[in-house]
Amino acid sequence: MLNKGIDKLELLRIVDSVATEKSIDKDLIISSMESAIQKAALTKFGHENQIEAKIDRETGGIKIFKVLNIVEEVSDSSREITVDQAKKIKKDIEIKVGERIEEELPQIDFGRIAAQSAKQIIGFKVREAEKNRQYEDFKDKQDQILSGIIKRLEYGNAIVDLGKAEGVIKKDELIPREILKPGDRIKAFCYEVKNEIKGHQIFLSRAHPQFLAKLFAQEVPEIYEGIIKINNVARDPGSRAKMLVHSEDSSLDPVGACVGMRGSRVQAVVNELQGEKIDIIKFTEDLPTLVSEALSPAEIQKVLIDQKNKRIDVILTEENLSKAIGRRGQNVRLASKLTGFEIEIFTDKEDSERRQAEFKERSETIIKSLGVDETLGQLLVSEGMHSIEDISNSTVEQITKIEGIDESTAEELISRSKETLVKEKEEIAVKLKELGIEDNLINLKGITPGMLVILGQKNIKTLKDFAELSSTELIGGYDEIKGERFKVDGYLEEFQLSKIEADNLIMDARAQVFND
pLDDT tens per residue, range 299-346: 999 999 888 778 899 999 989 998 998 888 899 999 999 999 989 898
DSSP label of 8:
H
Which string of b and e fits 42-78 if b means at least 16 CB within 10 Å? Answer: bebbeeebbbebebeeeebebebbbebbbbeeeeeee
Distance CA(316)–CA(395), nearest Å, equals 39
In a domain, 265, yes or no: yes
The secondary structure element, H or E, covering residue 238 is: none
The candidate with the shortest Cα–Cα distance to 477, out of 309, 324, 329, is 329
Query: Which pLDDT score is estimated for 112?
Result: 54
Percent of the chain past pLDDT 90, that is, above it, reads 32
Quote the number of domains for the chain. Answer: 4
Distance CA(23)–CA(81), nearest Å, equals 43
The secondary structure element, H or E, covering residue 220 is: none
In a domain, 425, yes or no: no
Contact 70, 81 (CB under 8 A): yes
In a domain, 429, yes or no: no
- Rounded to an integer, the average pLDDT of 436-456 is 88
pLDDT (tens digit per residue) in 198-227: 667 889 999 999 999 999 999 999 999 999
Same domain, 59 and 161: no
In a domain, 42, yes or no: yes
Q: End-to-end CA distance of the chain: give it in Å, rounded.
A: 60
Same domain, 227 and 198: no
Same domain, 19 and 93: yes
At 201, which CATH number?
2.40.50.140
Same domain, 13 and 128: yes
Same domain, 181 and 244: no
Which of the four pLDDT bands, split at 50, 70 and 90, describes residue 5? very low
User: 405 in helix, strand or coil?
Assistant: coil
The candidate with the shortest Cα–Cα distance to 274, out of 215, 202, 329, 327, is 215
In a domain, 350, yes or no: no
Which of 128-142, 307-321, 457-471 has the weakest average pLDDT? 128-142
Same domain, 451 and 495: yes
Contact 73, 83 (CB under 8 A): no
pLDDT (tens digit per residue) in 368-417: 888 889 989 899 988 888 888 899 999 989 888 888 888 999 899 999 99
Domain boundary among 322, 344, 366: 344
Same domain, 104 and 22: yes
Look over the chain and give the mean of its residue pLDDT values, rounded to a whole number: 84
In a domain, 45, yes or no: yes
In a domain, 426, yes or no: no
The candidate with the shortest Cα–Cα distance to 412, out of 389, 428, 396, is 396
At 105, which CATH number?
3.30.1480.10
Same domain, 186 and 277: no
Domain boundary among 319, 344, 369: 344
Same domain, 313 and 240: yes
Domain boundary among 344, 362, 384: 344
The residues with which 66 forms a beta bridge, in sequence order, are: 51, 103
Distance CA(176)–CA(498), nearest Å, equals 32
Query: Which pLDDT score is estimated for 120?
Result: 64
Same domain, 42 and 62: yes
Same domain, 104 and 193: no
Same domain, 273 and 176: no
Percent of the chain past pLDDT 70, that is, above it, reads 86
In a domain, 211, yes or no: no
Domain that holds residue 156: 141-205
At 457, which CATH number?
1.10.150.20
Q: How far is CA 154 from CA 171, 189, 207, in A?
A: 9, 19, 18
Amino acid letter, residue 409 = T
